[in-house]
Amino acid sequence: MKVKTYNNVMKAIKIIQKKGYNFEEAKDIVLLKFENYDKKCGLPIEYFLNKVLSKEEFNKQTYNITREA
């Protein structure tokens, strides 16, 4: 996926939903990724979507950060 189309956004949302996010959260993440996506780098958007933490890992890191503060 290199172009932001409806079908590509929906595919990307499904990828993020598999990581434990609900539709709204996944939609927000995907739209942010597409906005920040630089086509010049030559990497597909899937590369950056795979870098997104699962919801469980994200919650663990957030909990540890707030607990330490």
- Vertex 63, ends 60 and 69: CA angle to 5°? 140
- Treating both helix axes as pointing N-terminal to C-terminal, what angle do 6-17 and 23-36 enclose, rounded to 10 degrees? 120
What is the per-residue pLDDT across 24-48, written as a single tens digit (0 to 9) for each? 999 999 999 988 887 667 788 898 8
Please tell me the predicted confidence (pLDDT) of residue 52: 92
Residues 9-33, buried b or exposed e (16+ Cβ, 10 A)?
beebbebbbebebeeebbbebbeeb
Average pLDDT of the chain? Answer: 87
Question: Mean per-residue pLDDT for 48-67?
Answer: 85
Please tell me the predicted confidence (pLDDT) of residue 69: 53
Q: Are 45 and 33 in contact (CB under 8 A)?
A: yes
The answer, yes or no, to whether residue 11 has pLDDT greater than 80, is yes
Confidence of residue 68 (pLDDT cuts 50, 70, 90): low
